[in-house]
Structure 1
Amino acid sequence: MPGIGLIGYGYWGPNLARAIAEVDAAALSAIADMSPAALERAGRRHPSARLLTDWRDLIADPAIDAVVISTPVSTHFDMALAALRAGKHVLVEKPITDNVFKASLLVEEAARRSLVLMVDHTFIYTGAVRKIKDLITDGSIGDVYCYDATRVNLGLLQKDVSVIWDLAVHDFAILDFLIEARPVAISASAAAFLPNSPETMAHLSIYFDDGAMAHLNVNWMSPVKIRQTLISGRQRMIIYDDMQNSEKIKVYDRGVDLAEGQDDDRERRVSYRMGEMWAPQISTKEALITEIEQFVHSIESAERPPSDGESGLRVVEMLAAATRSAALRGQPMELVDLRRAS
């Protein structure tokens, strides 16, 4: 049973600590945070965990086999690199780092030491997203044409990252998990509506090497919370609404078919398929529990997790491209060029 140490007990850290404690195959051995108040809360909820004010002491503890990092993104690189160099497996909150070069260094370090490097892209461990993956993999949807997502809410405004790094990161991770094709270019338009603030809203377009396209609408200044995604395929279409308590996924047997032949009259060649809708059964297991179980399994078996370091690196490449495009008012950024520059 691996002993796991958690660095950071602020916003997301308590959720990770609870999930670690609930997984029978793992032990929450230590928690580190600079805040005495945070450590006091952690001690009440996890009395068996060692409490530390310096994360370096946690990494140096020989009883710790793996480190989970839940701190601001600007600190991820130094903490993760120190943990890897100390021979610890690492699970780091999304995004893995704040730039491509640092992410690539972590991936190289983990590979060199044969350690698990995993990113907390929680959505790909939800029952809904995994069911969509199954529907795409088994051919039920057909070739994926389009992924169109709206991810908006009021707040939480961040000081250190823009809405692209806070919200679009989820869809980048989901796209990397669902679609075999790879993005080749990204265009983004963004705006900041508050003084001395990062961008609070953005529209992004992602172009894939097989002709598929994704469009993302992310916003911190919406009066309502919306989490809805349309996935259009050659055979069927999916509506994924994460705000629904039941029927989060609805599959529609609908689409457009073109008849064979060379007739120039398109109206005579096009037919619209209006089939039934069904809502497949999905697992209700908490995504964080599944994620921690995957982390432990990967440590024990050396099996590559779905959200491994390389996946995290690809997500950061997309974030960097989108940020650069937004700074240039929507100019498309080629990911190959960005990768070479990094």
Structure 2
Amino acid sequence: MSPERPRVGLAVVGAGYWGPNLARNAQKTPAMRLEYLCDLDVDRARSVMGDYSTVRVVGSFEDVLADPAVDAVAIATPAATHYKVAMAALEAGKHVLVEKPLAPSFAEGRELVEAADRYGRVLMLDHTYCYTQAVGYLRNLIRDGELGDLQYLDSVRINLGLVQRDVDVLWDLAPHDLSIFQSILPDGVHPVSVAAHGSDPVRAGRACIVYLTVRLSNGVIAHVHVNWLSPTKIRKMVIGGSARTVVWDDLEPLQRLSIYDRGVECRDPEELGVDGRAATMVSYRTGDMVAPAIQDKEALGAVMAEFADSILQRRQPLTDGRSGLQVLAMLEAASASLAGGGEFVPVREVPAPTSDAVLPRIEVPA
């Protein structure tokens, strides 16, 4: 008989809105073994797992960290607690998957990234959209040069949403778009500065509408509109290139991506007449539209598979701690811009890895 394949022992921390989704997908992931669901409200956690589940339900996070059967934890607690819970897990020798944002501040996020390096553990962000087939297709289009030279990125994420008590709309919704940008941009292209304008028309005490502009290192600008107050829900991104433009409508299940062979081309000044008016300066290209088939699969399953594989293969995941730190850097710059009247604010540089530590192997339980 072949030896048993190693599996990652996982504890999900938090049984609120997102924790049950993590637990369900962990149980469907062959390379994972769900050991615990941990929540201060034990009754709520028990109701999530049901009466016949063999998964242990506990209220003590310390008990979870003390159990050697737990190799990793997935954190779905309130954003303000992410730093404390993730740091405790790393210090206990556990790998960590954490919801966005990585931490309440760039400084705390940097401490988590450095701790993961120091202890040789995987630190991964649950940037779920980055694991959708649509974003994977966009990444390939851009990085393979199918769109030509990148010209602009424009994203709208608005709905009549729940006004959060601990964060504004920028920190609630924009991490999705910023993590997507980071995932699909060509290698070497990074954010340089950010400007943000927002308002609070319902007097919630925090921005409910924000317009965010990101300047990239290749001269391109990316724009994000997030809004809690819209009566209609829109999830749409437009990415323009010199050769093609792609529109991603996440709420259109039958045609999520539309690739247009349409655009604007400027003529060389040398081709113009003496007075610059003898020829048309701008020409418009009108070609076909192609809608590739995109399968509608739950991205969280791919998140869990990537987390397990990165641990077992001793490699960094697609959305590693530094990707989460880059998003934090943009959010902090945007918040500073909001407070300062909308001026562009430089984005902090994410530090390079501090060590080349090899991640430890996961041993098969006896």
Q: Shorter-chain TM-score category?
A: over 0.9
**Which residue number in structure 1 is paired with residue 116 of structure 2?**
110
**Which residue number in structure 1 is paired with residue 15 of structure 2?**
9
**Which residue number in structure 2 is paired with residue 155 of structure 1?**
161
Q: Describe the superposition over 1:187-239 as per-residue Cα deviations: whole angstroms up to 9, x where unpaired.
A: 00111233353211101111111011111110001101100111101110011
Higher mean alpha-carbon deviation, 134-143 vs 265-274, is at 265-274
1:284 correspondence with 2:296: yes
- In the superposition, relative to structure 1, how do residues 337 and 199 fare at CA in structure 2: closer, same or farther (>3 Å)? same
Answer whether contact 1:321 1:338 (CA < 8 A) is retained. Answer: no
RMSD: 1.7
Q: Describe the superposition over 1:289-313 as per-residue Cα deviations: whole angstroms up to 9, x where unpaired.
A: 0110000000011222111000000
Q: Describe the superposition over 1:247-293 as per-residue Cα deviations: whole angstroms up to 9, x where unpaired.
A: 10000001112233423349623211100001112233210001100
Q: Give distance in 2, aligned partners of 1:243 and 1:71.
A: 27
The residue type paired with residue 142 of structure 2 is I
1:138 correspondence with 2:144: yes
Higher mean alpha-carbon deviation, 161-170 vs 30-39, is at 30-39
**Which residue number in structure 2 is paired with residue 238 of structure 1?**
246
**Which residue number in structure 1 is paired with residue 82 of structure 2?**
76
Shift of 1:136: 0.8
Higher mean alpha-carbon deviation, 100-109 vs 259-268, is at 259-268
1:100 correspondence with 2:106: yes
- In the superposition, relative to structure 1, how do residues 275 and 256 fare at CA in structure 2: closer, same or farther (>3 Å)? same
Aligned to 1:39, the other structure's residue is in SS state: helix
1:333 correspondence with 2:345: yes
Count of aligned pairs between the two proteins: 339
Shift of 1:148: 0.6
Q: Describe the superposition over 1:38-73 as per-residue Cα deviations: whole angstroms up to 9, x where unpaired.
A: 222123077111111122221221110000000111
The residue type paired with residue 209 of structure 2 is M
Answer whether contact 1:201 1:221 (CA < 8 A) is retained. Answer: yes
The residue type paired with residue 144 of structure 2 is D
The residue type paired with residue 255 of structure 2 is E
Q: Give distance in 2, aligned partners of 1:260 and 1:267.
A: 10
**Which residue number in structure 1 is paired with residue 132 of structure 2?**
126
Q: How does 1:1-342 map to 2 (within 5 A)?
A: 1-44=7-50, 47-180=53-186, 181-262=189-270, 263=272, 264-265=276-277, 268-336=280-348
Answer whether contact 1:158 1:198 (CA < 8 A) is retained. Answer: no
Q: Give distance in 2, aligned partners of 1:246 and 1:291.
A: 23
Answer whether contact 2:143 2:185 (CA < 8 A) is retained. Answer: no
- In the superposition, relative to structure 1, how do residues 195 and 63 fare at CA in structure 2: closer, same or farther (>3 Å)? same
Q: Give distance in 1, aligned partners of 2:8 and 2:82.
A: 22
Q: Give distance in 2, aligned partners of 1:155 and 1:196.
A: 13
- Among all aligned residue pairs of Structure 1 and Structure 2, give the percentage whose two residues are the same amino acid: 40
Answer whether contact 2:196 2:211 (CA < 8 A) is retained. Answer: yes
Aligned to 2:318, the other structure's residue is in SS state: coil
Shift of 1:156: 1.6
Q: Give distance in 2, aligned partners of 1:46 and 1:134.
A: 44
TM-score (norm 2): 0.89
- In the superposition, relative to structure 1, how do residues 336 and 213 fare at CA in structure 2: closer, same or farther (>3 Å)? same
Q: Describe the superposition over 1:5-49 as per-residue Cα deviations: whole angstroms up to 9, x where unpaired.
A: 000010111111111111111111101101133222123077111
Aligned to 1:268, the other structure's residue is in SS state: coil
Answer whether contact 2:13 2:76 (CA < 8 A) is retained. Answer: yes
Aligned to 1:205, the other structure's residue is in SS state: strand
- In the superposition, relative to structure 1, how do residues 85 and 267 fare at CA in structure 2: closer, same or farther (>3 Å)? farther
Bigger share in helix? 1
The residue type paired with residue 162 of structure 2 is L
Answer whether contact 1:325 1:333 (CA < 8 A) is retained. Answer: yes
Answer whether contact 2:325 2:350 (CA < 8 A) is retained. Answer: no
Shift of 1:336: 4.0
